[in-house]
Every structure is written in structure tokens, then in C-alpha cells.
Amino acid sequence: MDRSRSSRLRFFRIGVSGVVLAALVLPGCRREADRVPESTPSPSAAVAALTDRTLASIPSFAPLVKRVRPMTVNINSRFKPRLLRGAASKPHYPPGFQSTPQDEDAEDPMERFRRFFGGSPAPEEREVEGLGSGLYIGDGLVLTNNHVVAVEEPGSKGFRPMDDIKVITDQTAPDGGREYPAKVVGTDPKTEIALIRIEGEHVKALKAAVLGDSDELEVGDHVIAIGEPFGLEATVTAGIISAKERTVNPDTPYADFLQTDASINPGNSGGPLFNLKGEAVGINTAIIGGANNIGFAVPISLVKQILPQLKEKGRVDRGYLGVLLAPITQDMAEELKLESKRGALVTAVEKDGPAAQAGLEPGDVIVRVDDKPINDGAQLTRAVGQHQPGSTLKLEVVREGKKLDMQVKLAQRPDEEEVSRRMQRGRLPSGRRPRP
């Protein structure tokens, strides 16, 4: 569900404005005396020739849209905040009226404490409605964004599902466009992906999307986005992949976003991004506020990695290395005798953590994980997060100009509360967060 945020980057349900292509043909100018006599074609023949030349250079996405549009769904959600435990709504009085002693006696003690000594009041009960999009992947399952179907608990990093979720299929779908109740199967706030399930007698007739390989995408490849921007059903927009492996929000460190210039607008979070083969290659998730045509999608290859855990456990457990990282400057690269600035510099190692047990030390530079190059700390965080606890990784490390090979067995990544406790116990330098 979309909610306004103070940060520049905001998560939106994404829709796209159309692109109009036009060809302007200007006739050449000649003096009448210099004009060479020639046969004059009929107006109809001239128009036909112009049309053929113009349309021949403009591809049509219509056949692709007809094939993939039935797989896109709309999602309506409703949330009713709960009052905090022990809290009650404070009575409201018309102007000129005051509370009576009986009213004050009936007032909740915690509310009276907050009224006299300050503090944030308990949230009032009010309904909040949300709108988003999703991708049907078969067996009653729909992929969408976490913020479309879940809300963050006040004062916590945890999320809870919406109270009421409805999925509406497209009019071109085999069921002719129906509404289904839905329940959350699993969510992963760290990648902004959620999985929900719909039920009904017509669900089996729905056509499932094909999940492609976003790793094969190259910058410049054509893509189309489908969703419901501003409530405009089945809006289709086209663009290209503008960049890959973007880190756009500290709250989603494990999502190496695809950047696209296909127009994305509020109202279409969770909608699919398709390649020209008709394969889903991304889940549209975010935009940069105030920018034009800068949108981001979670790569479908990442979605496929976490999908089994969402189905089985409703959450995603990730591996943990237990190190602090820093970017590498040119001066650091020369001092550490590195071939380039690529790699993840280890600045601290958690005592008795997986990295320490494997022999990693501050000053080491991790340059490869499982024979795949590591360009920076963000990429190392994602590489470690792709593996479950208990997995063993092969690390290539540069220490004082020499390359070392290490094996490390990942632990369970702790939650934010546990990270805070570890910092307070001094297992890591105060105020610093372990990554990855």
C-alpha cells in the first residue's frame, strides 16, 4: 500500500504514461526554374509510400501486450490500525466544553500519563485503503510488493498483513475479470517482495506468467511495464533497461534493482516488467520523487531465489558473515597493493562470528565469492544474502598484496534488535552495524 514518505525515494504502485512517436517529413525546396520535370504520383500512392516507410521503422508491442496483459492483476487492500495495548481514545469535546471528573476517572491511565507528561498519543482507529498491482504465477499465487499488502507496525521494524486484500483480474483474463479474496503467504521487506494467494472456482483457468532470467538483460534492452497508475486499469508503457544492480534504499540492501525509463507512477507497485519474449523480468517497485522516467524493479532472478522460502516459511532467512565493510578509495588501493578499487574492504570482524572463524581480519579485501567477482560492499552483502544459514562460501581475499582462499560457513543473520544488543555488548565497535 502506498504511503507518503519524507525520504526522496518513495515506494509507489507503478504505472506508465504513453509514448507517442511521430515522423516529420519536410519536402525539399527548389526554385521553379531549377525544378526537373518528373511524373507526379497520385495522392493516394504518395500517402501509401510514406506510411510504409514510417511504420516499417516503428515496432508494435500490441501482440506482446495481448499475450501478457491477462497475467497482470489489480490489488485493493484495506488496513485498520489497532490501538496500542492499554490505550483508549481520548474523548473529544465541542469548543467551550471541558471534561468532567467522571470523564477523567474513566480515562485510561496510560492516556492520562501521556497527557500530563507528554509523549506520542495512541493511534486512532481509522481505515486506510491501498491500491497496487501484481503478477499471477500459477497455483493461485500472485507476486507483488510488500508495501502493497503489509504495513509496518508502529515503533517496530516488523510488518503485518492488511486486514482485507482483494485481487481483480484483467478483463482479458480467461475468467473475464473477477474479484478474489487473497491472503498473504509470505513477505520479505528487505527486497520489497510479497507473495499472496487467491482462491475461487475460476482460479485454475487463469494464465500464469513465465518468469524469465533477468541476469541475461543488458542495458538498452526493450521492456514494457503493465499496471494501474492512478487507478487507470491495464496501463501499458514501454522503455529500456537503463542500468542494472542499483542500490536505491538502505531498507532494501538485498535488492539489486533494475533501472528503467518505462514510465512508472503511483498506483502500480508490484506490477510486472516484461521483456520482448513475454517473460517477466522484474517487479516494479520504486521511483525517485521529482525525477522523470527513473523507475526501479526488483530483478526476477532475485525473486526466484527467495520464492521457495516465501512459499514454505512465509519469510526469508539469510546467511550472515559478521563483518563491517568500507568503500575502497584509490589511495587505499595503492596502500593495500590492490590491482583496482574493486572489492569489499573489511574494517572490523565480529568476535567468534563466521568471518572470524574462517580467518578473516580487518584490512582484508574480499574480491570474489564462489568464483564471482565482487565490486563493492553492497554486492558482497547481496551475494551473502542469497545463501541460507549453514551454507559454505568460497572467498578469495587479498591480504597485504597476496591472494588467499578461504571457506566460510554462514550463520543466521540476526534481526535489528539482536544487532543492537551485540553492539551494546561490545562485540562490534559502538554505533556500527555488521554487514553483511
Q: What is the pLDDT of residues 265-278, one digit of tens each?
A: 887 899 999 999 99
Cα–Cα distance, 146 to 81 (Å, whole number)? 17
Reported as a single tens digit per residue, the pLDDT across 312-323 is 999 999 999 999
CB neighbours of 366 closer than 8 A, spacing ≥ 6?
343, 344, 346, 360, 374, 380, 395, 396, 397
Reported as a single tens digit per residue, the pLDDT across 359-388 is 999 999 999 999 999 999 999 999 999 999
Cα–Cα distance, 385 to 71 (Å, whole number)? 29
**Cα separations in angstroms, 237 against 289, 381, 393, 399:** 19, 33, 41, 49
- Residues 428/350, Cβ–Cβ less than 8 Å: yes
- Residues 281/299, Cβ–Cβ less than 8 Å: yes
Mean pLDDT computed over 30-54: 46
CATH number of 1-18+60-81+126-313: 2.40.10.120
Please provide residue 312's backbone torsions phi and psi, each rounded to the nearest 5 degrees: -85, -40
Reported as a single tens digit per residue, the pLDDT across 75-98 is 999 887 665 444 444 444 344 444
Mean pLDDT computed over 224-239: 92
Reported as a single tens digit per residue, the pLDDT across 383-422 is 999 999 999 999 999 999 899 999 999 999 887 667 556 5
**431 has a pLDDT exceeding 70:** no
**163 has a pLDDT exceeding 80:** yes
Cα–Cα distance, 83 to 67 (Å, whole number)? 46
41 vs 266, higher pLDDT = 266
Q: Which one-letter DSSP state was computed for residue 280?
A: E
What pLDDT band is residue 128 in, cutting at 50, 70 and 90? low
Burial 385-424 (b: 16+ CB within 10 A, else e): bbbeeeeebebbbbbeeeeeeeebebbebeeeeebeebbe
CATH number of 319-424: 2.30.42.10
SS3 152: strand
Reading the block at residue 348, the C-alpha cell is: 572490523
Domain ranges of the chain: 1-18+60-81+126-313, 319-424
CB neighbours of 435 closer than 8 A, spacing ≥ 6?
253, 323, 324, 325, 377, 381
Reported as a single tens digit per residue, the pLDDT across 174-231 is 998 999 999 999 999 999 999 999 998 899 999 999 999 999 999 999 999 999 888 8
β-strand pairing of 164-169 with 9-11? unpaired
**Cα separations in angstroms, 3 against 130, 167, 292:** 9, 20, 20
Residue appearing with cell numbers 521457495:
308
Closest C-alpha among 339, 408, 403 to residue 375: 339
Please provide residue 338's backbone torsions phi and psi, each rounded to the nearest 5 degrees: -95, 155
Residue appearing with cell numbers 481505515:
127
113 vs 63, higher pLDDT = 63
Of the chain, the percentage scoring pLDDT greater than 70 comes to: 70
Helices (H), 199-325: 300-313
The least confident of 20-24, 252-256, 335-339, 394-398 is 20-24
* Upstream peptide bond of 436 is cis (omega within 30 degrees of 0): yes
Mean pLDDT computed over 258-265: 92
pLDDT, position 41: 52
- Residues 11/193, Cβ–Cβ less than 8 Å: no
pTM, entire model: 0.74
